[in-house]
Chains A and B, each alone.
Chain A
Amino acid sequence: MQFTSVSFLLFAAVTVGLYFSVPRKRQWWVLLAASYLFYFCAGAEYLIFILYTTCVTYLTARLMQKRADAEDAFVAANRDTMEKSERKAYRAKEKKKRLHILALGLLLGFGMLAVLKYTAFVLTGVNSFLSLFGTARVTIPSLLLPLGISFYTFQSMGYLIDVYRKSVRAEGDFFKLALFVSFFPQLIQGPISRFSSLGNQLFEPHAFDGFSFRAGLCRVVWGFFKKLVVADTAMIAVKELTSNTAEFTGVYVFLLILLYSVQIYGDFTGGIDITIGLSEMLGIKLAENFDRPFSSKSTKEYWRRWHMTMGTWFTDYIFYPLSVSNSMQKLSKWSRAKLGDKVGKRIPVYLATIVTWFLTGLWHGAGLNFIVWGLLNCLVILVSQELQPLYTGFHQKFPRLTASKPWGVWQAVRTFLLMGLIRSLDCYRDVPLTFRLWGTMFTDFQWGTLFCGGLLSFGLDVADWCVILGGVLVIFLVSRLGKTEPVREKLAKRPVLMCLCLCALTVVILLFGAYGIGYDASQFIYNQF
């Protein structure tokens, strides 16, 4: 059941209706039933995997909580008789025991994800290696990859780490935890929520709130516009440009970078708008996942604004634990003594950054292109970091220039193009081919061919171009207008104007959207991750 299907619209309408009809303390049961029905419709066999993750998460979290409660009770009971050093040692010992339970939970949780998602990738690598020696090949099993498994596994494992850290208490009700893992609007493409912010919201009663309902509805329709009108029209060109790479080189690679940026932005932010909007209609506020990423002036800033919940997940649960770990701190001390202060202090930070980006790439997909994508992002961030003194010097030398608006625009355009270039690895899915095609932009650009029919040679006609350019302009204007207060909230305060805008947007979607019988390409890109 795709978000963009009529059946999903009916399903969502019935769920919202039921949610506000049942007694409030039973509302979360409606969400749980709806979430499991939604996932069942995606594939009955997927239920086994989500139930497995829920059981592993529930049991290990409960075990850790039991130990943590016993530890706190012991320390409280013996506070007067225990020395500070004894207390510290006892806490450290107990923490280690909880760490073992956490490690088991992570192994079981991530283990299943690793087996299902990466077995084929690893065995393909093994086969390539074996072929060098002419040895027999390993058979690659065909494994099921449940929809949204990366999202719900990461969300569940994040919760486990939070319980280990005592940031949250383990949920005692299995069914409530099952809802946290499976909440249907965010199940297949995030945002990756934290139990501390989402947990209680899911379980507490919600009275119908007209303002939230209207603002949420606006956001859902806006999401459909971004996805069906803008992203799916751009997708026609992206498909064509990536399927005929012998013909579409030079300037067409540049066009692909632009069009894929439009597609993925409309697709992913559109999907998230539907998710957050639908949740808002139910009175549940999910974490934002985007903050006008294409206006970022640097790669670091871009990654603070794009897929924010994934970025903070990797920062909080991989980057920091790794970089402040005992072994990394020891390495830092050693390298500072051996290599000097300047180089030595960079080593833990840089090592942790490389590992984090490698894993971020791997999270996106089991393929060399995703790993290279992650490492290239890492390279740009680290090089920018090293060049920081140069930038500071330049800013000090030309303060008026660097404070001017055109300079800011140049920085945003530069970041947009750089991120788009790296992102094209995601489209071509073949690293050497992508590098070769990047090369043709410098050796054989041939922009003139665009004006000799080239612009209409990859599936888009004049009307499609108008839809894409018009859509981008509307998205840009709405983004500018919503700088201080989101446009949907402004509209929700004026119901008549809101109705008019929703009707107009719906007509635009019906007229220009890519949907309907025979149209089979509107799966969200991030569903695959």
Chain B
Amino acid sequence: MEQLLEILKKMHPEVDFAAEDDLIGAGVLDSLDIVTLITEVNSTFDVAIPAEEVIPENFASAKAIWALIERLDEE
């Protein structure tokens, strides 16, 4: 989780990702951010986030993104 927060912080230093729970609705992460984030996550955690998982619920918060990474790793 710490590593994920670091990646997010690098993208938007002004955002408190540990507290924010509506990253998509609030417009913090746009489509370009999401693709950049996926590239970082894939290489850091050795997972492959497929296009069908790119839905707002999976990227709404750092917790949700972490849950997605864990689920993909488990599957």
Q: A: which residues have CB within 8 A of B?
A: 84, 88, 91, 165-167, 300, 315-316, 319-321, 323-326, 329, 332-333, 345, 348-349, 352-353, 385
Contacts and interface: CB of A to CB of B under 8 A. Distances in A.
A343 to B, nearest CB: 13
A378 to B, nearest CB: 12
B32 A345 contact: no
9 contacts: A88-B75, A300-B30, A320-B54, A324-B38, A326-B48, A329-B48, A333-B43, A349-B32, A385-B32
Contacts of B3: none
B52 A167 contact: yes
B39 A345 contact: yes
Nearest to A166: B52
B44 interface: no
Contact of B31 (A84, A320, A329): A320
Given A88-B75, A329-B42, A333-B43, A352 B35 contact: yes
A321 B31 CA distance: 12
Interface in B37-66: 38-40, 42-43, 48-52, 54
A212 to B, nearest CB: 26
Contacts of A329: 39, 42, 48
A248 to B, nearest CB: 38
B43 A324 contact: no
Interface in B1-60: 30-32, 34-36, 38-40, 42-43, 48-52, 54
A324 B32 contact: no
Contacts of B30: 300
A385 B35 CA distance: 14
Interface of B, helix, strand, loop or mixed by DSSP: helix
The number of chain B residues touching the other chain, given as a range, is: 10 to 19
Given A88-B75, A329-B42, A349-B36, A315 B31 contact: yes
Q: Which 7 A-B pairs have the closest CB atoms?
A: A165-B52, A321-B51, A323-B35, A320-B54, A320-B51, A349-B35, A332-B39
Nearest to B75: A88
Nearest to B54: A320
Contacts of A167: 52
A319 B54 CA distance: 11
Contacts of B34: 320
A8 to B, nearest CB: 37
Contacts of A319: 31, 35
Given A326-B48, A353-B32, 16 more contacts: A84-B74, A165-B51, A315-B31, A316-B51, A320-B34, A321-B51, A323-B35, A324-B35, A324-B38, A324-B49, A324-B54, A329-B42, A329-B48, A332-B39, A348-B39, A352-B35
Contact of B35 (A84, A166, A333, A348): A348
A487 B49 CA distance: 42
Nearest to A352: B35
Contacts of A353: 32
A333 B43 CA distance: 8
Contacts of A165: 51-52
Nearest to B14: A392
A91 B49 CA distance: 15
A300 B32 CA distance: 11
Nearest to A87: B75
A353 B35 CA distance: 11
Contact of A320 (B35, B40, B48): B35
Contacts of A88: 75
